[in-house]
Amino acid sequence: MELEPRISYKLLREINPAAARLAVLEYLKTNGNISKCARIFGINRCVIYSILAKQKSGDLSDRSKRPHSQPQKTAVPIEKKVIETKNKTRYGPKRLSLYLQDFESLTVPAGTIRHILRRNKDQITYLKHYAQRKRIPREFIDWYQAKPFEIVQIDLKEIRDHKALSGEQMIHLDKYHVPNYQLGALDVNSRFKLIGYSREKTWTNGLLWYLWVISWLRTHGIENKIVFTVDNGEEFGGRSWMKVKELRTLIKSFNCRLIQNHKGHFEENAHLERSHRTDDDEFYIPRCFEIKGEEDLCHEGANYIYYYNNLRRHSSLGYQTPFARLKQQLPNIDDRIKYVLPIMFDKVAVDLGPWSRYNVLAQNPASTTFIFIISIA
């Protein structure tokens, strides 16, 4: 039995509805069997009857889905007034509704205004100005030519990661009120890593993390210019140009620079993002139930980061440890740099002082007895 050829009416319709109907009509001219035509195009016979009716009307294009009767539709003069006022004031629906009520004696609900603007978005003229906004491309970063601590990636990791920890482990962390955020900094050359902890995901703690990383590196013999690459998290300045500007001014005095990654491009902090998986597999998953508070977290974190930097062989380093690679390239570096001591930055933030205007935290408003000293060599 000879197989019938098949034509996808659905595919033709996605390209051009009128052309798809015309193809059906052309086939019917050569073969008037409606049932066979339906099998060839993979449609029901009622679709063909509908196409024949469209042919009689003289229009093969799609009909509008708009209802024939719209008794509740806003009058055309009112819609024009809404669009005109929108272009003049640039207000949102709620403020636009109040403006029309106060100055034009028109009562139009904010929801109705929202629908009017959506239907007539091609008439909103001031939106064209946004297309003229210039976007500055991110500076190119050459990871492979960087010397030790010339490029340092900064990021924040949530300890309670449902993709890594079990429900039982997360319940344990909640039971003992274990902080949820790990702050990280990693040198792309040697993979040497620094970590700290906080309860709050705030700009205050992010600012402290920058200062702590700079102080640790400078006091242990790192003198070259440091470039920090960071995502757009609010704890690291985010979209606030004012915070980013202040941060760049602050770290510039320590011979450091800041480059923000593109939004959503995690690969631009690839080395540190990959280390988060190692943190889960070799620290938080096996040691979770040993952590019963802040003190245990800092103690276990100190043990883990010593293992990560000084004992664990990294395949990306030719199975060297980060400290061995660092020592190989900087023989005179202070050996004490390898004893990284994670601390709780919430305890530090309120002692930062009023000079930054970010020294008050929501959960830790009271002053603490912990004194944070930054000593720059």
Give me the domains of the chain, ranges plus CATH numbers.
Answer: 9-57 (no CATH), 76-132 (no CATH), 143-356 (3.30.420.10)
129 is written with which tokens?
């100005």
N residues, the chain? 377
CA pair distance 313, 96, nearest whole angstrom: 63
179 and 159 Cβ atoms separated by less than 8 Å:
yes
Task: Please tell me the pTM assigned to this model.
Answer: 0.61
| Residue 314: how many other CB atoms lie within 10 Å | 18
Along the 377 residues of the chain, how does pLDDT read in single tens digits?
Answer: 445 667 788 888 888 889 999 999 998 988 888 988 888 888 999 999 999 998 888 888 888 887 888 888 888 899 999 999 999 888 889 999 999 999 989 999 999 999 999 989 889 886 554 444 456 677 888 888 899 999 999 999 999 998 899 999 999 999 999 999 999 999 999 999 999 999 988 888 898 999 999 999 999 999 999 999 999 888 888 888 888 888 999 999 999 999 998 888 888 899 999 999 999 999 999 999 999 999 999 999 999 999 999 999 999 899 999 999 999 999 999 999 999 999 998 877 666 655 545 544 444 443 333 333 333 33
CA pair distance 258, 251, nearest whole angstrom: 8
**Which residues pair with residue 151 across a beta bridge?**
227
| Angle of helix 34-41 versus helix 45-57 axis, rounded to 10 | 110
86 and 117 Cβ atoms separated by less than 8 Å:
yes
Number of H helices, E strands in the chain: 15, 5
